[in-house]
Structure formats: structure tokens, C-alpha cells
Amino acid sequence: MIMSNNLSTADLDVIVVGGGFGGCYLLRNLRKQGFKVKVFEEGEGLGGVWWHNRYPGARVDTSAPYYEFSAPELWDDWVWREAYPSQAELVEYFQYVDRKWDLSKDIDFGTRVTKATFDESSDQWIVNTNRGDTAIARFLLLSTGFAAKTYTPHLEGLEKFQGFKLHTAKWPKEDIDFRGKRVGVIGTGASGVQVIQELGPIAGELVVLQRSINCALPMGQQLLSRDLEMAKKSGYAEIFRQMKLSHAGFDYSPVPRRAKDDDPATRTAFFEELWAKAGFAPSQGNYHDLMTDVDTNTLFYNFWRDKVRKRITKNDPELIENLAPELPPVPFGTKRPSLEQRYFEVFNQDNVKLVNLQKNPIVQVTKNGVDMRDGTSIELDALILATGFDAITGSFSRIDIQGVGGQPLRKKWSSGTRTSLGMSTSGFPNMFFLYGPQSPTAFAVGPVISEIQSDWIIKTLVELRTKRLTRIDAKPESEYEWTKRVADDTNKTLLPRNTTSWYMAANVPGKPRESLNFVAGLPAYQKALRDCTESGLSSYNLQ
């Protein structure tokens, strides 16, 4: 086994899978508590999703400083060049973190964990990798992210296409020249929006094959001045403290008013204020009943629609209706809105065409394009699949995880996900996961929730060590109660009304339709963690 820290596998206390925000934070802070840790990372460098997703225009949709570690020794002398950093800048940031925290010595890069088996006789996990290596440790911590498994819908004849063809998450390191080419993009989620913005100005012809509309919000991108950003550092400690008190990790939370509490003029002024803030302010800082009341939701959708329609200057009523329909096809926010910089303006270009796949679906992919149901054929030199991910649970099904009695996790969750606190599942002792199902995953800033969960896990492992306990396993009744709580909270919202959203595991055929996220906010989630700890970890069986 390739091990740069000269530890034998018998010396390990903890195996961490994944080298993104969660994996880095766990490694650094577990080491501080005296645990011997090994991290396996599939990529050739740190960053998790940001190592792999290098498609044109890839960048984070959370602004600085809300998308970074809260440790003062990191933010004290790091300054972002853009308010919303690019993938390349994020990779640089993780290299900086690596140097500061000396992480790489305990990480095996280019190594994918393929199997993990719990050994009941020793209360340890046996982990196998794609390199044929085996490692053993008491605890297995999965920090695989919510978007580790790509999803491509069935497209008849896709394998026949002879041009450039790739999922956005599988982008090559070398630059691809699309100048003058005929390019098709399937999908208008986050990666689709970003790719379309980049390729629209340079492609000879760009055909956007839209599966569903994206109620994209203005990003508010800007270049940052190092001097000005350094001057703000004195307030960073308070910023990071407040992030954990907010609903989703931003500097705003839903306001304690209903839309109908304001008169139309006041309401419009409030919407304009949110729009001017840009980013996720319109979705995360809106009226508190935005996601529970259809009328409130429709009021904001109408505001969004009118804002977007003003930006579409092409005299094409069908295009306008496809991008910003008169009536909301689903409640606003039940599909994750992407942040855009010039997405809607791209469609004003003569070389850009939009095809609504709900009205005119693809019949088959051919060797040089796609055939549509209306009988037309679209010739293409490149076909880009911005079709998203088998989100959240898919990151776990990529690994053959076997718990007590050899039970596969895939089988246990095949009829519905069950967790305790969104971090563990019964029958899989000594295993915890970050940024996974039934935690605030999709409704909280990634680094913030990763730190919250990591701190709780580390505190728990220290407690077990102090008491000389070797096994912790979620009680079936605790995961039943947690799963019910997650579902009940979700059912109070408009989220279940969207029948295709990955929020509800509805974008992948065959997956159980269920709420995959804790939607009640970070304060409520942290209270649940505290309650569990203060009750002596009553949600778990301890041995």
C-alpha cells in the first residue's frame, strides 16, 4: 500500500474517504486529537468535486468568504480574486490549505475505495481500493460529497455519436476548442448554465436541449481588491460564528413575515432589495412562507419571470415562454436555482437555439447528431451531457459497503433511506458520513455543514475512546424517528410538488422518491446534535 506517513494499516484509528472540505477538516482535527488517520481520495489532488469538475465556466455559487474554512490561520492571509471563485482558484485554495495543514502526508491520491466491510469480531472496518490495497481501522468516515456519481438518462443510440461527447463532470484536463463548432448541451442545471454561458459566444452553433426550466438568479460576480478584502478580516470571526446561526450558512435567513403581511408596493420593494443583493438572497432571505405557501411562491415567481423576460430581447414568443413561462411549471425553489452571469442574454444570439425537450423530445442520437420527435435532425460536432448526478445517496452506492451480517448498504436503502441524524445508519457500526442523506446537505453551505458534522463526529469519537468503547451503532428506532422527522418537515413545504427534482430523489428512474435533505435549517439541526450528545448518545447502542 502506498503510504507516505509510514504507518502500517494496523496503526490506523480512522479511515476517511474523500478529500474535499469534509475530508480535509476531519483529517486536520482528528490528528489534533491524537487519532491516526488515512484519507483515500479518488482525484489527484484535494478539492473533491472541485478537482473533478473543470468544465468551461465551472465556479462555485457561494460567495467569499462563505465558501472556505473557518480556521483563522487559513483566512487570515488568503484573499480570493473573485467574489464567486472559479474551479481553478478553488484548486489553488486547497493547495494552500494542504501547505498550511500539512495534509498530503496522510492522503493516498488517485485511490478509489471500492469496498468496505465491517468485521464484527474486531469491531473494525476492512477497506479495499481500486489499487488492490487493503486498510483496516476502527472507524470509517465517508466524506464523498453529494455529487460523486454522475447520471446520464437513457438516450437511444448515444453510443453511436462520433463527435466529442462527455458528461460535464468527466471533463478532460486539456482545453477543447469549440470555436466554430456545432455544439449541443443537454441539461440546464448548474453545470449546464455555466457551460452555455461560456460556449454561446464562441460556438458556431449552440443548441440547448432543455429538459426543464432553470429559475436562475443573478450571481453578482465581481473582482475583489486584495487591500479591501484584507481590511475586512477583523470581522471574519463574527461572520463565521453567525453563519452557523443562520438558516443555511449565509449572512441572511428567511424574514419573519408572510408575503401577505406586506402591501403590494412594500412586497415589490422587498423583492427588489433581494434581487439587488444577488446570489441566493432571493431564495434564502425571502418571506418565511416562500416554500410553504403557493400564493407567496407564485408572487415571487412572477417577479422573477418579469425580470428575466426583460433580458430576452429576441422577438421570439416561444423562446420567451420556454425560458420564463407565464405560469410557474413547478413552485419556485423546488428545483435548485442556479446562479448566472449572462445566461439569458446568450439566447439573444443568432447562433444559439433552444429546444424544449418536454415539447419535442429526442428520439435517438445518431453518429452525427440527434433526431427529434417532430422529424427534424440536428447535426452536431459535440454533445455535452450536463445531466447531473445520482445525488446524495449515489455517492454511497458507488462503494460496496457491507455492515453487520454482510448486509449491503445498497440493499438496506433500496426501498428508502434511513439514517440517524443524517450521519449514520443502523447495522453499520462505527461508520459516519458527512454531507449525506437526511442532513442539511442541499440546503446549507457545504463547508459550514461539513464543519458542524465533523465537530460532532470528532467529539463523539473522543468520548468513545475515553470510555474505552469499541462500537457505536445507531438504534433502529432512532433512525425511524429521524427519517419521519425529515419527511414530515419536507411535507410541510412545496418540495414534494416537484416530481423531477433531485431534492426528492426524483431525477433518477428507480430511486425511491423521498426527501433526501433536512430542511428545517442549521439551528434546528445543531439542536438535534446537542440533544443527542447531552442525552449520553441515546440514539445509539454503545459497546
Averaged pLDDT of the chain? 96
At residue 160, the 3 state secondary structure works out as: helix
Q: Is the distance from CB of 450 to CB of 518 less than 8 angstroms?
A: no
Helix (H) or strand (E) holding 401: strand 400-402
Q: Are strands 205-210 and 352-356 parallel, antiparallel or unpaired?
A: parallel
What is the distance between the alpha carbons of residues 198 and 384, in angstroms, rounded to a whole number? 13
At residue 293, the 3 state secondary structure works out as: coil
Q: How far is CA 264 from the centre of its chain?
A: 35
CB-neighbour burial class of residue 463 (10 A; exposed 0-12, middle 13-18, buried 19+)? middle
Tell me the pLDDT tens digit for each residue of 148-188. Answer: 999 999 999 999 999 999 999 999 999 899 999 999 999 99
Q: Where are the alpha helices (DSSP H) in 316-432?
A: 317-323, 343-346, 394-397, 409-412
Q: Which three cell numbers stand for residue 207?
A: 443548441
Task: Express as a percent the part of the chain with pLDDT over 90.
Answer: 97
**9 pLDDT band (50/70/90 cuts)?**
low
Q: Is the distance from CB of 369 to CB of 168 less than 8 angstroms?
A: no
Q: Is the distance from CB of 539 to CB of 474 less than 8 angstroms?
A: yes
Q: How many CA atoms lie within 13 A of 324 on its CB side?
A: 22
Q: What is the pLDDT of residue 11?
A: 83
Tell me the pLDDT tens digit for each residue of 452-488. Answer: 999 999 999 999 999 999 999 999 999 999 999 999 9
What is the distance between the alpha carbons of residues 372 and 348, in angstroms, rounded to a whole number? 23
The answer to whether the predicted template modeling score (pTM) of the entire model surpasses 0.85 is yes
Place of cell 466529442: 164
As a dihedral over the C-alpha atoms of residue 424, residue 426, residue 428, residue 430, rounded to 10 degrees, the angle is 60
Tell me the pLDDT tens digit for each residue of 334-359. Answer: 999 999 999 999 999 999 999 999 99
What is the distance between the alpha carbons of residues 85 and 219, in angstroms, rounded to a whole number? 11
What is the distance between the alpha carbons of residues 235 and 518, in angstroms, rounded to a whole number? 30
Which of 188, 70, 167, 170 is closest to 385 using CA atoms? 167
Q: What mean pLDDT do residues 102-122 have?
A: 98
Q: How far does the chain reach from its first CA to its final CA, in angstroms?
A: 31
Count CB-CB contacts under 10 A for residue 467: 9
Tell me the pLDDT tens digit for each residue of 38-86. Answer: 999 999 999 999 999 999 999 999 999 999 999 999 999 999 999 999 9
What is the distance between the alpha carbons of residues 107 and 30, in angstroms, rounded to a whole number? 14
Q: Is the distance from CB of 23 to CB of 16 less than 8 angstroms?
A: yes
What is the distance between the alpha carbons of residues 124 and 115, in angstroms, rounded to a whole number? 14
- Residue 6 pLDDT exceeds 50: no
What is the distance between the alpha carbons of residues 38 and 54, in angstroms, rounded to a whole number? 26
At residue 141, the 3 state secondary structure works out as: strand
What is the distance between the alpha carbons of residues 442 and 420, in angstroms, rounded to a whole number? 17
What is the distance between the alpha carbons of residues 465 and 454, in angstroms, rounded to a whole number? 16
Instruction: From residue 169, give the alpha-carbon distance in Å to each of 35, 41, 113.
Output: 34, 16, 19
DSSP type of residue 181: -
- Residue 4 pLDDT exceeds 80: no
Q: Where are the beta strands (DSSP E) in 112-248?
A: 113-119, 124-129, 134-137, 139-142, 164-167, 182-186, 205-210, 217-218
Burial 162-191 (b: 16+ CB within 10 A, else e): ebbbebbbebeeeeeebeebbbbbbbbbbb
Q: Is the distance from CB of 426 to CB of 471 less than 8 angstroms?
A: no
What is the distance between the alpha carbons of residues 265 and 270, in angstroms, rounded to a whole number? 9
At residue 200, the 3 state secondary structure works out as: coil
Query: What angle is formed at CA 8 by the lines to CA 5 and CA 9, rounded to 5 degrees?
Result: 110
